[in-house]
Amino acid sequence: MSVSNQSRAVDLRVTGTVQGVSYRAACAEQARTLGLVGYVENLDDGAVHVVAEGTPDAVESLVDWCHDGPDAASVDDVEVRDVAPEGHDDFTVRR
């Protein structure tokens, strides 16, 4: 029973008030709860970048969560691109 053919990976760019509001930590916690792997990081332009991979349902759940984020965040937009899975081992918080 292979999971690879049932895997989805996305690259997200989240804009709004998403830095300095614990967005990365909350996103990582949500992703780990959903069993996803990948990473989240701040971008120099004030956006947050998320790469996540796992089951299609779990990925979609994280994408939905990213539209709201943690309570202190104010999300304006989430750009979603489907990408090839990179085979991450876990979900990490970068810079």
The set of catalytic residues is 24, 42
Residues 56, 79 contacting (CB under 8 angstroms): no
Which residue is associated with the tokens 């947050």? 48
Distance CA 90, CA 37 (A): 5
Residues β-bridged to residue 92: 39
Selection from 42, 51, 57, 62 nearest residue 86 by Cα: 51
Which residue type, as a one-letter code, is found at position 29? E
